[in-house]
Chains A and B, each alone.
Chain A
Amino acid sequence: MFNLVIGQYVPMESLVHRLDPRSKLISMFLFVIIVFLANNWLSYGLLILFCLASITASKLPFQFIYRGLRSVFFIVFLTFILNLFFTNGGLLLFSWGWLHIYLNGLIQSIFISFRILVIIVITTLLTLTTSPIEITDGLESLLHPLKRIKLPVHEFALMMSISLRFIPTLLEETEKIIKAQAARGSDFTTGSIKSRFKAVVPLLVPLFVSAFKRAEELAMAMEARGYHGDEGRTKLHRLVWNNRDTVLLLILAIMTIALILFRY
């Protein structure tokens, strides 16, 4: 789970790395939506082509992408099987007892698997090429208009970046507490589910107590350093929208039109 957000980013020099986080975020959301427009080989071909082109432009070794995919293979496999057996219509390819596989089912399950795979590839690519700070900055800037309807966008972004910053600290602390409890004879790895669950409680309580204490101290330190919301605040990070970002959005727009045309 943590791997999804942090420790993923691979700092490198590439076209994709240099893109503005906002254009990457918009493209990703757009991509995830237009994937659902695809319904034939041509449109899926286009999506896969886009993925391959993005990976190449990111200069990331393919194994990084593969690592991100590995954890979802099971889900892809499961949806593949379910679609395979439960979609009817078309030529009957195979039949054994109550199991029937139709041609439509096979095509459908291949399409759906591709759909999941390209979505995962693109989102993984985003987290691999964009640092968490860039992502939060990008989100804050994109959601900025929502401030007008009194949504705490800045606070949300700050919360997100502080959480990201504290994940390693809290993981370290958890490890320490686990060791401390294990030294006192507590056992998390064997026994019934109930007894394991019971062993987790003395782990969570000190963890929460210390997290609250940290939160209080951090809030005080932030106030001492003059934090008072985003009023009159300047920013160290400046997002710069370049031509390449506009081009990326254009490519996505063209892809959207193409996918709509391919549909019919």
Chain B
Amino acid sequence: MPNIIDVSDLSYRYQEAGSRVLDHVTLSVKQGEWLAIIGHNGSGKSTLAKCLNGLIQPEQGNVVVSGYNTKDESAIWKIRRRVGMVFQNPDNQFVGATVRDDVAFGMENHGVAREEMLQRLDEALKLVKMEAYADQEPHRLSGGQKQRVALAGIVALQPLIVILDEATSMLDPEGRRDVLETMKLLNKQRGLTVLSITHDLDEAVHADRLIVMNEGKVIRQGTPAEIFQHAELLEEIGLDLPFAVKMERLLRQRGLEMTERPLTQEGLVNALWTLRSTM
């Protein structure tokens, strides 16, 4: 698969005199993959996300999104149309007076013709199961519902990439599952590339690939299995481990060796009940 985003040697700082928030970051995102970025608070994940659709400009290095450099001012709207972004706080990204207005906002900005807009609007609302709320005002919606509306607004723009910047962190488990299920569907069925910034490691283990950030640097990239093999490194930089990984480690310390290292709860259960079965 070709790369859809190429970040090379990217550095950024907010204040002239301040320290680097992004420090020579180089990474790429493949088309159609689900990439998760983890790292503790202040490690520069959100800053990286803002570089990817040109909300902020690199101090050094380049960001290229499907062939367009974010430094190219004439391409910035093309880039933003290709890269959709859902932010953490559901309230502070709801622009419209009603659900319909909010979903339409992005399409209005990009000059989508009205007929097409109406069609995409219905589709997007159906996809996130919010069609019954089309005329609701935002203060009558729950956080999870608002976040789904935000997602619909992005999906309606038919982007190539969706960045979720802790988009589910303010939601309850059910709201979180709803949003992630929708994203997985789009990822599988329409080949949408998903870049998910998250603190939820049990979500991160389902990613195709994982990037670990620390103090503005990418310190590890790989499949979840590869990353969580080195549990010590993650703990060193102050990250928690997924439940199954922790459990497996504790069991191993007690002398219970499993043939493989499970990442999910389900995998752990399977590994445990097949442990003593000799076939």
Q: Is the interface of B mostly helix, strand, loop or mixed?
A: helix
* Contact A221:B93 (CB < 8 A) given known A227-B109, A234-B113: yes
Given A221-B87, A234-B111; A165-B96 close (CB under 8 Å):
yes
Q: Is B269 an interface residue (CB 8 A)?
A: no
Closest chain-B Cβ to A88's Cβ sits at a distance in Å of: 52
The docked-state distance in angstroms from the alpha carbon of A234 to that of B112 is 6
Q: Is A223 an interface residue, CB under 8 A from the partner? A: yes
Residue of B nearest to A214 (CB): B92
Q: CA–CA, A172 to B140, complex, Å?
A: 12
- A:119-170 near B, CB below 8 Å: 131-133, 161-162, 164-165, 168-169
Instruction: Determine whether B85 belongs to the interface, using a CB cutoff of 8 Å to chain A.
Output: yes
Closest to B53 in A: A224
Say yes or no: A165 contacts B53, CB within 8 Å. no
Partner pick for B89 among A131, A217, A228, CB 8 A cutoff: A217
Enumerate chain A residues within 8 angstroms of B71, measured Cβ to Cβ. Answer: none
Residues of chain A contacted by B97 (CB below 8 angstroms): 131-133, 161, 164-165
A238 and B97 CA atoms in complex are apart in Å by 16
Q: How far is the CA of A153 from the CA of B97 in the complex (A)?
A: 18
Report chain A residues within 8 Å CB of B244: none
Q: Are B100 and A236 in contact (CB under 8 A)?
A: yes
> B76-120, CB under 8 A of A: which get 1 and which 0?
010011001101010111111110110011111111111001100
* Complex interface: chain A residues within 8 A of B85 (CB): 221, 224-225
Residues of B within 8 A of A213 (CB): 92
List, in ascending order, chain B residues with CB within 8 A of A217's CB: 87, 89, 92-93
Decide: B139 and A235 in contact? CB cutoff 8 A: no
* Interface flag for A233 (CB, 8 Å): yes
| Per-residue interface assignment for chain B, residues 5 to 40, with 1 indicating a CB less than 8 Å from any chain A CB and 0 otherwise | 000000000000000000000000000000000000
Report B250 CB to chain A, min CB distance, Å: 40
Structural contact, B113 and A169, CB atoms closer than 8 A:
no
For chain B, give the interface size range. Answer: 35 or more
A222 to B55, CA, bound (A): 11
A232 contact from B91, B111, B154, Cβ within 8 A: B111
Known: A172-B139, A223-B55. A228 touches B95 (CB 8 A): no
| Contact (Cβ within 8 A) B91 A214 | yes
A238 CA to B118 CA, complexed, in Å? 12
Tell me, rounded to whole Å, the shortest Cβ–Cβ distance linking B30 to chain A. 22
B137 within 8 A of A: yes
In the assembled complex, the Cα of A165 lies from the Cα of B146 at a distance in Å of: 13
When C-beta atoms are compared, the residue in chain A nearest to B92 turns out to be: A217
Distance of A220 from chain B, by nearest CB (Å): 6
Residues in chain B near residue A214, CB distance under 8 A: 91-92
CB contact between B108 and one of A164, A172, A224, A233 (< 8 Å): that residue: A233
Does A89 belong to the interface (CB within 8 Å)? Answer: no
Instruction: Considering the complex, give the chain A residue whose CB is closest to the CB of B114.
Output: A234
Known contacts A132-B97, A161-B97; decide if A234 and B92 are in contact (CB<8 Å): no
- Chain B residues within an 8 Å CB radius of A236: 100-101, 104, 107-108, 114, 117-118, 121
| B94 x A165 contact (CB < 8 A) | yes
Interface pair B117/A225, CB less than 8 Å apart: no
Given contacts A214-B91, A222-B95, contact A233 B111 (CB under 8 A): yes
| CA gap between A217 and B95 in the complex, in Å | 11
Task: Name the interface residues of A222-263: CB closer than 8 Å to any CB of B.
Answer: 222-228, 232-236, 238
Nearest CB on A from B41, distance (A): 17
- B204 CB to nearest chain A CB (Å): 23
A15 at the interface (CB under 8 A from B): no
A92 contacts B by Cβ under 8 Å: no
Is A218 on the interface with B (CB-CB < 8 A)? yes
How long is the Cα–Cα vector from A151 to B233 in the complex, in angstroms?
A: 58
Residues of B within 8 A of A133 (CB): 97-98, 101
A127 CB to nearest B CB, Å: 15
Residue of A nearest to B103 (CB): A236
Q: In the complex, what distance in Å separates the CA atom of A170 from the CA atom of B10? A: 38
Type the 1/0 row for A175-219, where 1 means its CB is closer than 8 Å to any CB of B.
000000000000000000000000000000000000001100110
- Chain B residue numbers with a CB within 8 Å of A232 are 111
Q: How far is the CB of B82 from chain A (nearest CB, A)?
A: 10
Contact residues of B between 142 and 188, Cβ < 8 Å to A: 153-154, 157
Q: Which residues of the other chain, A, contact B154 by a CB distance below 8 angstroms?
A: 225
Residues on B with C-beta less than 8 A from A221 are: 85, 87, 92-93, 95
- Give the distance in Å from the alpha carbon of A102 to the alpha carbon of B73 in the complex: 74
Other contacts beyond A165-B96, A221-B93, A224-B55: 6, CB < 8 A? A164-B97, A217-B92, A224-B80, A226-B110, A234-B117, A238-B114
Partner-B contacts on A (CB < 8 A)? 131-133, 161-162, 164-165, 168-169, 172, 213-214, 217-218, 220-228, 232-236, 238
Q: Identify the 9 closest CB pairs spanning chains A and B, nearest first.
A: A221-B93, A217-B92, A168-B139, A226-B109, A236-B104, A225-B106, A224-B85, A232-B111, A226-B80
